[in-house]
Structures are given as C-alpha cells and as structure tokens.
Structure 1
Amino acid sequence: MTGKGSVNHNSRKFHAKNTDPKRSYWNVEYCNQDIREVYHELFDEALDRYNSKQTRKDRKIEDYYEKIRSGKQEKPFHEIILQIGDKDNMGATTKEGQMAARILDEYMKDFQRRNPTLRVFSAHLHMDEATPHLHIDFVPYTTGSKRGLDTRVSLKQALSALGFKGGTRMETELNQWVAAEKQQLASIMLDHGIEWEQKGTHEKHLSLLDFEKQERAKEVAALEEQKADLEEHNATMQEVNEKWLDHLKNIEQDISSARESWKEADKKAEQAKKNVAQYEKKLTEIAPMVKEMERFAEKYSADPEEVLPEAGTLETGKSYREKKAKPLIKKIVTVLRSVYRAYFDLSRRFNDIQRSYERAGNKVNSLTTRVEELWNENRMLRENLEDFERVKEALGHDTVKTIVQAERQREQALKEQKRAQRRKMDRGAR
C-alpha cells in the first residue's frame, strides 16, 4: 500500500499504541537521512541553473524543499508499506514472521537498484508490531525537464523513466508500478516456498448495498489513517513545545534574576557614590586643620633663647625661674601635649577616612563592571525571549498554554515519584 509517510514514526522517535517497545531492538533501519539533505543533493545544482536564468526576483526560488512542501502539485516524498500475510499467519514473534522479515529484507536490498529515479532516504523494517512490515520513503525525481528546474520532483515522470507509461484511468503509472513491485515481492516469496494468494481479484458482482458497504469501509480506513497522522503530528508538536517551554522557563527565570541583581547592584553603586562624596567633603574640612597645626608647630619650634624673656636688672635666679621660666615652660608643655593629642586623633581619622575612600572607590568600580555584565546578559536574554515569542506565535498561544499545564503536572508527578523513591531507600537503610 501507499501512505502519507511518517519518518518520525518509522524511526521510532515516538511510539504509537500498537507498538511493543520491548521488541523495538528487532527493528532494522536501512537508512534515515534528513530529507532536506536529500533535496540539496538532488536539486541544488539545477536550482542554481534555474535561478541564474531568472530576470525577475519574484521568480527565483530560495528553498526548493519549502516550495514543494507548501505547494499542491507534488508531494515532498512518497511512502510504500509492504506486508506479507497478517497477524494470524505471519505474527512477528512466530517463525513464520521471521521468514516474512527475511523476505522483506531481501526485497529492500534490491529496491534502489531497481528504481534509480526513486531516491530512498528512509527505510525501516518493523518487528515491534503485530506483523512484520516494511516502510520505504523516497523522493521521485526526473532529469532533463523542459519546464521549471531541469531536475525536479515528479512522481509521474520518475515512473515513466522506469518504463511505466500511463494509459486508462485505472492503468496509471503509479498503479502499473505498484503491480510490478507486488510481482517482484511475490517472486521472492515463491523462492521461500510461499505462494501469493491474490485476494479480491476474482470477486463476484457485488450488489449495490454490498458495494456501498465496501466503499464505506474504505472511507473508514482512510479516516483511520488520517487520525494516525494527526496523532503523530500532535506528538511531534508536543515534543517541540516541551523543548521550547523548558527554554522559555529558563529564559524567564534568568531575566528575572538578572533584573533583581541589576537593581541591587545599581542601589549599591549609588550608595557607594554618596559615601565617596561624603569622604571627599570630610577630607576637604580636615585639610585646613592640618595646615593650621603645621603653622602652630612651626611657631613653637623656635630657639628657646628667643622665646624666654630677659631677666630684670636686680632679679634673682630663683625669682626668674619661678615667675617667668616655669610658667612659660608649663604653658609650652600643655600646648604641645594638646597639639600631640589633636594631631594623633586627626591623623587616625584621616587614615580611617582614606581607607574608607579607597574601599568605596574599589566597590564603585566593581559594581560598575557588574552592571555592565548584567546589561549584556539582559540584552542576550531579551534576544532569546524574542526568538521564543516567534515560536509561540507560530505554534499558537493555546497550544503553548496546554503544554505548560501538562508540563507542570508531569513535573509534579516526577517529584512525587522521586520522594517516594527516597522514602523507600530510607526505610531500606533503617
């Protein structure tokens, strides 16, 4: 059968309900290349040739993959799914299922050689579901085209190059190719002793009611396939949303922390500047006092002979000593002691203020540097937040809100689980 294709499902980036993860290691991955890389490999040279011929800018193609993906003429890739038998006669865990896997493996290994215009980029053999089956995803392309790119995506032309020419509405290139591939698989089956029972090829004429029932069954099957595609898309989007949600939470926390640190640093820097201004004012007040002390010390540093008064004509030594010399010396000693105490106190205050001034200056420099760092961090965080806002706009606010609630519940459940494990370990230790 042919399908829409789900590379993430095929490579088991997520597990559907009908898979058994315990058996996933039985699966076989033949290739799993990024489809964008395949497009670059197949079409970049043709794209350059096409763009070089365009005189109008709006006719040029920037990204060929995006053009095909968003267009309606061609699908970016196609998928076929092959299965032998069903769960009743070819169950994956039975020896018959193992034989089916070997047949599918042999078929797969010759697929690309047999279909060179169908570039396979993803192929997986699944053994973790009820019946072994093979997914093959490929990009059909044609060369030498006269319109558009000379090498471009085209299922019809790719199959035509393989020799399948369309005829009636039922005998399209795709139908002819599918029939040929079924015959190829049937030939390999026959080599292993399994005959193809071609069900539905000799049906009797259906009544109108039976025909309508059959058509309704086909519609239901198509809707089931669409439902599976939507579930896969939802799982993929949830994975993307969870990733960006964690990123957003980290950014918001970093921005909040940076803002608080910036405000605190700004307050400290402002206070340090005020302290510096106060210290400078005090130093300005002290400076004249120091100068006055220097003049006072200079005044009393003169020769004692010049300071002491002359003795009177008939004045005795005792009288001179008691009445003139001792009072003067006492006065000088008192002044010097006062000067010394004042100078010592002033010197201590000056040194304290000088050290405080230096500490404040260093603190201002440190806070200035920190403020600059916080500004840079804040700028980068804002850029990251703007990028996430773009992602949130693309995904939808309601989707992000739903994911946030789900993530909170998941985190709470995980915390409860860890607490239960710790309690269990504590009881075991006792």
Structure 2
Amino acid sequence: MKRTISVMVGRGSVNHNSRKFHAKNTDPERSHLNVTYCRENIKAVYHELFDEALERYNAKQTRVDRKIENYYEKIRSGKQEKPFHEIILQVGNKEDMSADSDEGWLAAAVLDEYMKAFQERNPNLRVFSAHLHMDEATPHLHIDFVPFTTGSKRGLDTRVSLKQALAAQGFKGGTRGDTEWSQWVRSEKEQLSAVMERHGIEWEDKGTHDKHLSVLDYKKEQRTKEIAALETVKAEKESQVESQERRLKELAPAVKNMERLAADFSGDPEEILPEVGTLESGKSYREKKAKPLLAKIVQVLRSLYRAYIELSERLVDVQMKYNRVCGENSRLNDRMTEIWLENKKLRQISTDYTRVKRVFGPEQVVAAVAADKQREQAEKGRKRPRRSLERGGR
C-alpha cells in the first residue's frame, strides 16, 4: 500500500481545532471521534517559557521605556515573530484514506503514533494545542507550537524565534529554497513515513502534495480550505459583533443616568432654591445657600458635559465598528455561498467524469481526452501563422 504525505501550514485557529465552533466541512456527529492531545492557554505557556528571562532582561534596563511589561503582547503586536505556528499533517487523501473507512482508521493510528513522539523530537517547539480530526473528509493532525531559543545574546536570553529554534535542532538554512523550515518539514515527513512503514504503508513521495491531485480534486480541496478559512473569519467577526452589542448595552445605563441627573436640575428655579430664613440677610442667603447650590449645579453640569462628550465619542466609535463588522460579515456570507456553489458544481463534474469512465472504460476516456487535447493544440498551431501573416501584410 502506497500513500502520500501532506504537510501544510495552518491558520492557527485554536477555537476551530478544538471544535468550539463547526465549519461546514465538519460532521458534528463524528466529532466525538476526534482526539485532543493537549489544549493549553497560550498566555500560560508564555509565562512558563519566558517569565524568568523577562525578569532578567528588565532588571538590566536602566530606562523604564525599554522594559517589557507583557512579552506575549509584545510578540503578538510586533512584526518580527508570530506568537505561534501550526502545521497540519495528513496521510493519503479522501479517495484512499477516507475518515469513515478502515483505511481512515489506519491513517489515524499512524498520526497518533507520530504525534506521541513529536514533542520529544522537537524540544524547541513547545506544543500547546494538538488535535486529531476524524470529523472531516480525511483524518489529519493539527499541531500548534511556540518556537523558542535559549542563550540569546540580544533581547531576552530565552525568546521566541522560529529560525533559531529550528537551528538549535540542527536545521541550518542554506539557499532561499532550502530554509530551516523546508529542511525541518522534510525531516518530519521522513519521521511520519517511518511510522507508516511500521503500519505497512509505503510513502509515495511525489515531491509536493498538490502534484498528485487531479485538477478537479485540487480545486475542490482548495475551495474546501477557503471555506474553512472563511468560517473561521466569520466566527471571529460574529464574536466582534456580539462584543460591540454588549458595549452598546453597557453604555445604555450611563446614558439613562445622565438623563436622570439632567432632569433633577432642569426644574423651575423656585422649586430648587431654598427658602429665605426669617430675618436672614441677602448677603447671608447668597453666601450660605445660593452660591453653594449654584456651585453644585455647575459641578454637575460640567460632569454631565464631560460624560456626554465621552459617551458620544464612544457611541459613535462603537456604532462605526458595529456597522463595519456587520458589513464584513455580510460580504463573507456572500463569498462563502459563492464558493459553496462552485464546489458543488465541481463535485458534480467530478462525479459525472467518474460515471463516464465507468461506462466507457478508463482507457477509452483517457485516450479521448488526450486526442481532444491534441486537436486543440493543432488548431492553435494552425491559427498562429494566419495572425502572423495578417500582421506582416499591414
């Protein structure tokens, strides 16, 4: 039995991987078959890996502005390194290793054995989330990790660095096409192939994952990936909409409170001002009653005005974000519908093509396709000289 190996870079949607929400390409009725190896909070992992190094770094700084308060936020908001990386590994494809077949369970056993040795084999890639998915077309493994290096001479002595983490594990980049990452991926494929051999599967190494796919299968797979990615973005946008709605609800009581205060001091002055005491002089009334009351009213009005300005700005900001997110969500829904329809059409074409091969025989169909391609090439060849002559005649 020969099977291909696919290794892809994932988007790193931990919520999707742990099935906090389901994309259209998942079967929730099979999700109980998924395996969760670990699911840790990435911020807790950052504290574990870098807190001591961060303390040493900050202790050396003489300027307060050079100290780092939160290392995770610094990496997340920076541009030099990603907070974490994800790879997705798969044995075979949905045609020969379908998740609901015996071969699919064999692929799952291979990936399970491979996963259990991953962390020990990659000590500089701290795994914090890993999931084997059995509720999609083909079993596959998501591994999310934080790459780190120790003994660094700049910045923190223990810091985030994919390049240095892989270098510490023996992968030294050479040419542009032979980077630390490409060397490491090739090594991991070889590790996976060794596990496959123990299960009676030979690695069908075709150089790249995509080359062994037919054009239709490749397009369908790409559309499926795009739909999954859009589902992830959509879920994030929906979360943002809910957040903005909560903020609008939080602002409502403050607005009501402002209205109440304004009402308290918007009555008739005669009702607000205290009565003049018996034998009380005008000066005494002014100093002891009128001025304190006026000062209080001025203070309240100033507070109301400041609160009004702040709330108005926040309300406008929240409303703009809410409208923008709603618009983006609407566009995502349109795009997902468009891709779903295209994918449905591709599946129908692929099914019809399979039927044609079954009725007329695969050899005859392949020969007919080849003949038609030759006819198209010959037709193109006949057309080119005529266009050349026409241009020459002018």
Equivalence for 1:296: none
Aligned partners of 1:152 and 1:175: how far apart in 2? 22
Equivalence for 1:134: 141
Confirm whether residue 119 of structure 1 aligns to residue 119 of structure 2.
no
Q: CA deviation at 1:262?
A: 6.7
Q: CA deviation at 1:248?
A: 2.3
Q: CA deviation at 1:241?
A: 2.1
The answer as to whether partners of 1:248 and 1:385 remain within 8 angstroms in 2 is no
The answer as to whether partners of 2:86 and 2:144 remain within 8 angstroms in 1 is yes
Confirm whether residue 21 of structure 1 aligns to residue 32 of structure 2.
no
In structure 2, relative to structure 1, the CA distance for the partners of 1:113 and 1:221 (3 Å cut) is same
Aligned partners of 1:222 and 1:390: how far apart in 2? 40
3-state SS of 1:396 partner: helix
The answer as to whether partners of 1:117 and 1:161 remain within 8 angstroms in 2 is yes
Counterpart of 1:57, as a letter, is V
Counterpart of 2:318, as a letter, is K
Counterpart of 1:234, as a letter, is K
1:136-285 aligned at under 5 Å gives the runs 136-200=143-207, 228-229=228-229, 231-249=231-249, 251-252=251-252, 254-255=253-254
Equivalence for 1:86: 93
Q: CA deviation at 1:247?
A: 4.8
Confirm whether residue 6 of structure 1 aligns to residue 18 of structure 2.
no
1:133-182 CA deviation, whole Å, 9 max, x = no partner? 00000010000001111001111111111122223333322112111111
Greater relative CO (CA pairs within 8 A, separation 6+): 2
3-state SS of 1:39 partner: helix
Aligned partners of 2:257 and 2:60: how far apart in 1? 52
Aligned partners of 1:108 and 1:387: how far apart in 2? 51
The answer as to whether partners of 1:27 and 1:128 remain within 8 angstroms in 2 is yes
Aligned partners of 1:199 and 1:401: how far apart in 2? 44
Aligned partners of 2:313 and 2:10: how far apart in 1? 35
3-state SS of 1:136 partner: strand
Moved over 3 A (4+): 217-231, 254-268, 270-274, 384-391, 400-405
3-state SS of 1:81 partner: strand
In structure 2, relative to structure 1, the CA distance for the partners of 1:126 and 1:387 (3 Å cut) is farther
3-state SS of 2:49 partner: helix
Q: CA deviation at 1:231?
A: 4.4
Equivalence for 1:396: 321
Equivalence for 2:380: none
* 2:74 paired residue among 67, 75, 78: 67
Aligned partners of 2:246 and 2:127: how far apart in 1? 35
Q: CA deviation at 1:242?
A: 1.2
Counterpart of 1:124, as a letter, is H
In structure 2, relative to structure 1, the CA distance for the partners of 1:154 and 1:390 (3 Å cut) is farther
Equivalence for 2:336: none
Equivalence for 2:346: none
Equivalence for 1:58: 65
TM-score (norm 2): 0.62
In structure 2, relative to structure 1, the CA distance for the partners of 1:183 and 1:386 (3 Å cut) is farther
Counterpart of 1:20, as a letter, is D
Counterpart of 2:12, as a letter, is G
Counterpart of 2:14, as a letter, is V
Counterpart of 2:196, as a letter, is M
Q: CA deviation at 1:81?
A: 0.5
1:401-424 CA deviation, whole Å, 9 max, x = no partner? 65999xxxxxxxxxxxxxxxxxxx
Task: Single out whichever of 35-44 and 77-86 deviates more from structure 2.
Answer: 35-44
Counterpart of 2:237, as a letter, is M
- Over the aligned positions, Cα root-mean-square deviation in angstroms equals 4.2
In structure 2, relative to structure 1, the CA distance for the partners of 1:259 and 1:39 (3 Å cut) is same
Aligned partners of 1:390 and 1:39: how far apart in 2? 36
Aligned partners of 1:56 and 1:259: how far apart in 2? 43
Equivalence for 1:37: 44
TM-score (norm 1): 0.57
The answer as to whether partners of 2:241 and 2:322 remain within 8 angstroms in 1 is no
Aligned partners of 1:134 and 1:391: how far apart in 2? 41
Equivalence for 1:331: none
Aligned partners of 1:65 and 1:387: how far apart in 2? 30
The answer as to whether partners of 1:33 and 1:121 remain within 8 angstroms in 2 is yes
In structure 2, relative to structure 1, the CA distance for the partners of 1:144 and 1:219 (3 Å cut) is farther
Aligned partners of 2:76 and 2:312: how far apart in 1? 27
Specify every segment of 5 or more residues in structure 2 that has no aligned partner in the other structure, as ranges.
Answer: 1-6, 276-303, 331-394
Q: CA deviation at 1:230?
A: 5.1
Q: CA deviation at 1:249?
A: 2.8
Q: CA deviation at 1:227?
A: 7.1
Instruction: Count matched residues.
Output: 294
1:180-236 CA deviation, whole Å, 9 max, x = no partner? 1111111111111111111247x99xxxxxxxxx9xx99998898677545423321
The answer as to whether partners of 2:99 and 2:134 remain within 8 angstroms in 1 is yes
Aligned partners of 2:201 and 2:133: how far apart in 1? 20
Equivalence for 2:353: none
The answer as to whether partners of 1:241 and 1:403 remain within 8 angstroms in 2 is no
The answer as to whether partners of 2:97 and 2:104 remain within 8 angstroms in 1 is yes
Task: Single out whichever of 126-135 and 45-54 deviates more from structure 2.
Answer: 45-54
The answer as to whether partners of 1:392 and 1:400 remain within 8 angstroms in 2 is no
Counterpart of 1:240, as a letter, is Q
Confirm whether residue 105 of structure 1 aligns to residue 30 of structure 2.
no
1:42-80 CA deviation, whole Å, 9 max, x = no partner? 112111211221223332222222222222222111111
Aligned partners of 1:391 and 1:399: how far apart in 2? 11
Counterpart of 2:128, as a letter, is F
